[in-house]
Amino acid sequence: MNWTKEAEAALEKVPFFVRPMARKAVEEYCKKHGIGTITEAEVKAAREKFLAGVDEEPKPGEPKPTKVAIVRCDIVSETCPGVGCMNAWNKRKVHFEQYGPEAELIGVFTCGGCSGRRVYRLVKKLKDYGLDVVHLSSCMLMDGDYPKCPFKQIIKEGILGQGVRVVEGTHH
């Protein structure tokens, strides 16, 4: 397929590690719609199709939804599928009671292992999507089958340092 310079420039804004996947998605979108030359408009249209509503602003008079993420312990994620965190979120229970139905869960990720190496990078990326608050999952805070996270304070400070609020806990 032929790409205009503007379309190529728009694609360059996509993070390098997903750029090949984005290129393929745009080309499949254009092929499906009988488009031979890909312009910036097609890149934007394909982005809207595959990332529908990501950048949507609330309608006038509607409150801005709070955008939430959950960071989980990488070790615990080997045995826990996150059911407790997700149930608490879906039912707005325990540490999620403060959010109304308009709040959006925009990310769930693991810390990346001790010492939380992945958190700073992913929070920075989620800020591009309007992240307001990160919950440290209950597994990072409790002593039990696993010791509580020895890097919790460092992780928390790294998030707060990016101007994002932190809540300790999800479902406990």
140 near 77, Cβ under 8 Å? no
Tens-place pLDDT, residues 44-62: 988 888 776 555 666 787 7
Phi and psi angles of residue 115, each rounded to the nearest 5 degrees, phi first? -115, 40
Rounded Cα distance, 41 and 29, in Å: 12
**C-alpha of 29 from chain center:** 24
- pLDDT surpasses 90 at 34: yes
- pLDDT surpasses 60 at 12: yes
* Helix or strand holding residue 31 (H, E): helix 19-32
The model's pTM is 0.72
E-strand spans in 20-170? Answer: 37-38, 67-72, 104-110, 133-136, 165-168
Rounded Cα distance, 142 and 4, in Å: 54
What pLDDT was estimated at residue 60? 80
Rounded Cα distance, 12 and 23, in Å: 10
Domain boundaries, the chain: 2-50, 67-168
What is the DSSP code (8-state) at residue 66? Answer: P
Fold of 2-50: Helicase, Ruva Protein; domain 3 (1.10.8)
What pLDDT was estimated at residue 53? 56
What pLDDT was estimated at residue 54? 57
Mean pLDDT of all residues belonging to the chain: 91
- Sign of torsion, CA 104 122 24 30? positive
* Helix or strand holding residue 159 (H, E): helix 152-160
94 torsion bin: left (phi>0), alpha (psi -120 to 50), beta (else): left
What pLDDT was estimated at residue 17? 80
Tens-place pLDDT, residues 140-156: 998 877 788 999 999 99
What pLDDT was estimated at residue 58? 65
Tens-place pLDDT, residues 71-123: 999 999 999 999 999 999 999 999 999 999 999 999 999 999 999 999 999 99
**C-alpha of 12 from chain center:** 20
Q: Which CATH architecture has domain 67-168?
A: 3-Layer(aba) Sandwich (3.40)
